[in-house]
């Protein structure tokens, strides 16, 4: 269901059922459940040292209201099917290792490819997992896509993990990427 610009009524117009359905029912339904998706990963993904790697979100989506993510067919990508401004985000956790650095980025491909957010950890601590996240607002056109890349330079393979060994509350951290429509951008 897409947003329709509401009609402007003037004195003497007769409001029809079709106009009520389009201007009130359908637009209210769109605002109640706007396009959005949160893709998740529940298992470790091995990241080779010095290699930019696109994260794969292959678990069941937390939610997807606009067929934006396919955890089997295209697990690395969220596709914007509805144009507009989106709040985009990603989070992951690297396994504990005190050597090198860690990076995470949000990247948009499509009509205007660009890196829209990122984070770098230059001081990882031995015995402590590196929790990383990035967020940004982005004005997407339909068919643009969102991915997240990570890199690490520990000198060996290092996993993006969901281990709860070093979280403050002792719970499993979330490895996820999402996009939520917030406005048509006009």
Q: Does the pLDDT of residue 167 top 80, yes or no?
A: no
Q: In this structure, are residues 124 and 101 in contact, taking their beta carbons and an 8 Å threshold?
A: yes
pLDDT of res. 164? 56
Give the Cα separation of 26 and 75 in Å (integer).
31
**pLDDT confidence tier of residue 165, bands split at 50, 70 and 90:** low
Q: Does the pLDDT of residue 1 top 70, yes or no?
A: no
pLDDT of res. 172? 60
Q: Which two tokens stand for residue 134?
A: 């990035």
**Listed residue (19, 179, 24) closest to 110, CA to CA:** 179
pLDDT of res. 70? 97
Give the Cα separation of 99 and 157 in Å (integer).
12
Q: Which residues of 19-41 are buried (b: 16+ CB within 10 A; e: fewer)?
A: eeeebeeebeebeeebbbbbbbb
Q: Does the pLDDT of residue 169 top 70, yes or no?
A: no
Rounded to 5 degrees, φ, ψ at 27 are: -70, -35
What is the CATH code for 35-183? 2.60.120.40
pLDDT digit string (tens) for 79-118? 999 999 999 999 999 988 999 999 999 999 866 679 999 9
Domain locations along the chain:
35-183
pTM: predicted TM-score of the whole model, two decimal places: 0.85
Q: In this structure, are residues 35 and 68 in contact, taking their beta carbons and an 8 Å threshold?
A: yes
Give the Cα separation of 153 and 49 in Å (integer).
5
């Amino acid at each position: 269901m897409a947003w329709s610009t509401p009609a402007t009524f003037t004195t003497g117009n007769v409001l029809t059922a079709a106009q009520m359905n389009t201007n009130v029912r359908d637009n209210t339904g769109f605002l109640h459940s706007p396009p959005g998706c949160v893709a998740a990963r529940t298992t470790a993904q091995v990241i080779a040292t010095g290699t930019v790697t696109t994260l794969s979100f292959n678990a069941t989506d937390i939610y997807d209201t606009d067929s934006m993510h396919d955890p089997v067919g295209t697990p690395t990508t969220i596709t914007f099917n509805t144009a507009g401004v989106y709040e985009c985000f990603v989070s992951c956790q690297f396994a504990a290792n005190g050597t090198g650095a860690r990076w995470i980025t949000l990247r948009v491909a499509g009509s205007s490819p660009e890196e829209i957010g990122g984070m770098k950890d230059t001081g990882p601590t031995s015995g402590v997992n590196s929790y990383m996240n990035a967020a940004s607002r982005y004005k997407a056109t339909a068919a643009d896509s969102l991915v997240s890349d990570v890199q690490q330079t520990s000198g060996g393979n290092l996993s993006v993990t969901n281990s709860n060994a070093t979280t403050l509350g002792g719970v499993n951290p979330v490895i996820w990427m999402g996009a939520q429509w917030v406005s048509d951008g006009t």
